[in-house]
């Protein structure tokens, strides 16, 4: 585009190009500063404080709610579009640097990249009649606490975009649900040469039953089970053993149904099962208004829109359980980079997604 402007000899072209480059530099500065604030789950304060200080500069009215979510608003006269993603990351610091057209750092993809893009897209509309709210939520990686609090303490928006990496031209329509569980058993110490089932064997027997619930195929429409932690301890007389695990729930299965199956497995063993946080699977209609706005926006900007579903779980599961709102998940980045020691974002994708998000918010709130 810059070459074409120079070729036609327009006196304004150099100014336009310089302004565009300056805007991209400012966008990168905001994004990099956000990633530099290391904020693993339950320790989101550095990221929270960064947004509280920077977002008013972008034209938002900002507040922090009772659980630490950052809520930034630009209430115009149009329908409200809620853009939301999470401030927390998994643990593990990665030196933040820009290299080869990429930004490296923990959270650069999951999900400070999507949240930063939402903030910057919204900032382009704070002087219009668009009604845009951007929320950075806490504890998505561990419990969904921030999203749950949000749905319990405000009315549903007209439209919702959940921020997770999908790529700049792809919209995510579905996620599997999750059921977290803990199984614990205590028994007498048994000499390894004697017959009998000790606590460790009992845990293994329980988990073998749970794994038996898995579907033979893999992917979004399958049920899968993964252990996340196993421990044992003994005082010489009693042996304690505990296992923690997650079940990923496909569409067509329910949390309550799986709880019944898991409880039966525990009843056939010697321990007790405890259930943690859970969310139902979600699969939204590809023709819902938010999805259609993204299809239009990506095409209008010269892209080829795509649709995806994910085998993991996100805050979209929480929102869909509690709000009857047209929604999708969208954000820059390759989800294969999530939680990896090489986590990084292609900067062209990042800037591209800001344009798409701006287009979508204009479409939904103003048109």
Question: Of 80, 88, 315, 363, which is the active-site residue?
Answer: 88
| DSSP β-ladder status, 170-175 and 306-310 | parallel
Kindly report the length of the chain: 367
Residue of 197, 198, 52 lying closest to 134 (CA atoms): 52
Catalytic residue among 140, 343, 346, 358: 140
Any idea what DSSP says for residue 42? T
Alpha helices in the chain (DSSP H): 2-7, 13-36, 45-54, 112-123, 145-153, 199-211, 255-267, 289-300, 315-322, 347-366
Beta carbons of 271 and 240 less than 8 angstroms apart: no
**Cα radius of gyration rounded to whole Å, the chain:** 24
C-beta atoms surrounding 213 within 10 Å: 15
- CA–CA separation, 244 and 222 (whole Å): 20
Catalytic: 355? no
CA 114 → CA 8, 53, 121, 157, 215, distances in Å? 36, 19, 10, 19, 32
- Cross-strand partners of 170: 306
User: Phi and psi of 200, rounded to 5°?
Assistant: -65, -45
Task: Show the tokens assigned to 210.
Answer: 């749970």
Q: Has 169 been annotated as catalytic? A: no
What residues are labeled active site?
Answer: 88, 140
């Amino acid at each position: 585009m810059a070459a074409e402007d120079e070729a036609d000899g327009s006196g304004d072209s150099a100014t336009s190009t310089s302004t565009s480059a300056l805007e991209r530099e400012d966008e990168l500065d905001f994004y990099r500063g956000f990633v530099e604030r290391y904020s693993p789950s339950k320790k989101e304060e550095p990221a929270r404080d960064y947004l509280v200080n920077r977002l008013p500069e972008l034209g938002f009215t900002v507040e922090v709610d009772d659980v630490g979510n950052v809520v930034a608003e630009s209430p115009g006269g149009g329908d409200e579009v809620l853009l939301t993603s999470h401030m927390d990351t998994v643990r593990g610091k990665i030196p933040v640097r820009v290299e080869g057209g990429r930004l490296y750092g923990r959270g650069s993809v999951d999900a400070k990249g999507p949240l930063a893009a939402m903030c910057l897209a919204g900032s382009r509309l704070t002087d219009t009649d668009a009604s845009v709210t951007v929320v950075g939520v806490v504890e998505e990686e561990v419990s969904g606490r921030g999203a749950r609090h949000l749905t319990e303490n405000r009315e549903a928006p007209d439209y919702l975009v959940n921020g997770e990496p999908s790529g700049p031209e792809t919209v995510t329509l579905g996620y599997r649900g999750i059921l977290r569980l803990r199984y614990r058993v205590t028994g007498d110490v048994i000499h390894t040469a004697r017959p009998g089932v000790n606590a460790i064997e009992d845990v293994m027997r329980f988990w073998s039953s749970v794994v038996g619930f898995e579907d033979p195929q893999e992917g979004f429409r399958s049920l899968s089970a993964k252990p996340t932690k196993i421990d044992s301890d003994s005082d010489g007389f009693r042996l304690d053993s505990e296992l923690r695990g997650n079940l990923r729930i496909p569409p067509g299965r329910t949390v309550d149904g799986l709880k019944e199956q898991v409880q039966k497995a525990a009843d056939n063993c010697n321990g007790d099962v405890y259930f943690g946080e859970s969310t139902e699977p979600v699969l939204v209609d590809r023709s819902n208004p938010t999805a259609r706005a993204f299809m239009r926006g990506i095409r209008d900007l010269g892209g080829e829109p795509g649709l995806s579903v994910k085998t993991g779980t996100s805050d979209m599961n929480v929102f869909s359980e509690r709000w009857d709102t047209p929604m999708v998940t969208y954000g820059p980045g390759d989800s294969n980079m999530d939680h990896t020691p090489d986590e990084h974002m292609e900067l062209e994708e990042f800037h591209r997604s800001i344009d798409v998000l701006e287009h979508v918010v204009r479409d939904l709130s103003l048109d």
